[in-house]
Amino acid sequence: MRNMPAVLVVEDEPSIAELIAVNLRHNGFRTTWSMDSASAEREIEASVPDLILLDWMLPGESGLVLAKRWRAHPRTKDVPIIMLTARGDEADRVAGLDAGADDYIAKPFSTKELLARVRAVLRRKTPEQVGEKITIAGLSLDPATYRVTYQDQPLKLGPTEFKLLQFFMNSAERVHSRAQLLDKVWGDHVYIEERTVDVHVKRLREALGVAGPMVETVRGAGYRITAKPLQPLASPEKSGV
């Protein structure tokens, strides 16, 4: 399954926010909308997005203030920010970029331009996410295409399950605690309970189907993926069913 980048749209005009969100969703992005600084902070506390589209003029704190704060915070310092504003003067563009924005789009703008800017910023910020194809005991994961197969059959995984599986497969047979997984996969364990890992491991096993037992629970230690081949399923005649 292709991983869908998450975009937080911080915009106080509903019509503009809806236009942006619809176009992003139609082009393979997941979107969340916040109409002011307070709700934007809540969204980021719950989940750090892959990119932020940030309006300059907002109720409460301005986009400029938010950009500076997010750039200074360890959880959000590397998240790409594109500033959206009706301010088109050079001095305003410079102020937005100096605040930490990666790009700047003046209103009104075309949706084609917006999509092109979003893709360009994500390409610049996330080249390291593409890696080598990994195969373990019939289970294959391709980071370049976000495809997972088991014995050449395609499997559908959610974005978090994909990242979790990729991390497991890059360190096969090694045991990882819940806290380690939160650090490496989520990257913001302070804000997420460790039991969240159990939920996503369960979903991962369900998505992997018969390959699910490859993800093992090591009692008192955590989880690992094992490269040992699975035992063939018993036929109904031999099992007595």
Q: What is the pLDDT of residues 184-218, one digit of tens each?
A: 787 643 456 677 788 899 999 999 998 889 999 99
Domain boundaries, the chain: 6-128, 134-225
Q: Which top CATH class is 6-128? A: alpha beta
* Both tokens assigned to 17: 């926010």
Q: Which top CATH class is 134-225? A: mainly alpha
* Both tokens assigned to 33: 């909308």
Q: What is the pLDDT of residues 119-158, one digit of tens each?
A: 888 876 654 445 678 999 899 999 888 899 999 899 998 8
